[in-house]
Amino acid sequence: MTSWISEYKYSWLEKIAINVIKCGNIPNHIAIIMDGNRRFARSNNIEKIDGHTKGFDKLAECLKWSLDIGIKEVTAFAFSIENFKRSDKEIEDLMTLATYKFEEFLQENDKLKENGVRLRVIGDLSLLPPKLQVVVSKAVLETEENDKLFLNIAFAYTFRNELISTVQKIIENNDSHTCEINEELIGSCLQLQSTPDLLLRTSGENRLSDFLMWQLSSSTLYFTNILWPQVNIWNFLAGILHYQLITSNSSDMRPNLKVPLSQNSQHMLATINAAKKKDLILMSQNG
Ligand code: FPP
Ligand code: MG
């Protein structure tokens, strides 16, 4: 196991609860807004950054639980573009923590490969310090072939920012005006293609805060008052149970299958994706 996937040891009661929950419908993809780290720090008389570090450890526990429950994809909101408005000290500390964690990720690569973890980082990486850009892009490229647990970290992300840059890219690549601008094209150009089945947000805030606004349109939402670092497996299972209760009472609310992209749009998408990959490789070589 690794620092990214905790070595959580289950009690016998927790094992039974997991087996019971696994008899129901398990969300394929969960999205998490990890909120409440600073309130946790304040109430425990520790530094803000220690609250964020505990928050990272909780993410590693959630990844272990997700692997064992059979959840295939986890998308976690780690840093919003709005968070750049925080104090210089907190931003610097968070960037240092993230750089350290992604360095660890690279060192643990063999073990992450064994667990089939594929990392993607969504957001505007150009806003990050150069050293963090290098480790993040290396970590993403290193795990490209893995396919058991898809881990998406939203870092320097807001949906509005992503939508603007997506539309800009489409306009740049559509100079002959041959591609129809429609839902399928915009959706296919976003960084995250899959839609979460369940969104979990902690700390009593009932908002989406510009997280995956496109992808969450039909997801089940679960809000809990618990602060993120305090989440335990029972809170996590309660979120899944909520999903099971909601989905057992409703027909499939997810959008219908996509209309296929036209040939011109497919060509444009391939060009945009090739440029993204090239940028990532260049970023990884800057260190
Ligand atoms: C929200 O709580 C948390 C954050 C803004 C940062 C979350 C970051 C981590 C868990 C570390 C992630 C690092 C990696 C590499 C994934 P808050 O600060 O808004 O707390 P508050 O709501 O109590 O003020
Ligand atoms: Mg907060």
The pTM (predicted TM-score) of the whole model is 0.96
Question: For this structure, is 149 an active site residue?
Answer: yes
Strand partners, 122: 154
**To 10 degrees, what angle do helices 263-284 and 130-142 make?**
120
- The pLDDT assigned to 231 comes to 98
Higher-pLDDT residue of 260 and 225 is 225
Domain ranges for the chain = 24-158+194-253
Which protein residues touch ligand 1 with a CB less than 6 Å away? 34-39, 52, 55-56, 59, 78-79, 83, 97-98, 101, 153, 203
Determine which residue's CA is closest to atom 7 belonging to ligand 1.
78
Q: Active-site residue 68, yes or no?
A: no
Q: Give pLDDT tens digits for 111-121.
A: 899 999 999 99
Query: Does the structure show a pLDDT above 60 at 255?
Result: no
User: Domain 24-158+194-253 sits in which CATH superfamily?
Assistant: Decaprenyl diphosphate synthase-like (3.40.1180.10)
Residue bearing tokens 């335990």: 232
Mean pLDDT of 50-55: 98
Residues with CB under 5 A from ligand 2 (ion): 35
> Which residue from 85, 40, 97 is spatially nearest to 226, judged by alpha carbons?
40
By the 8 A CB rule, do 153 and 78 touch? yes
Contacts of 257 (CB under 8 A, 6+ apart): none
Ligand nearest to the CA of 53: 1
Q: Which of 6, 32, 35 to mutate to test the pocket of ligand 1 (most atoms within 8 A of CB)?
A: 35
Check 59, 94, 125, 149 and give the catalytic one.
149
Whose tokens are 């998408």? That residue is: 269
Which protein residue's CA is at the shortest distance from atom 5 of ligand 1? 79
Query: Does position 253 have pLDDT exceeding 60, yes or no?
Result: no
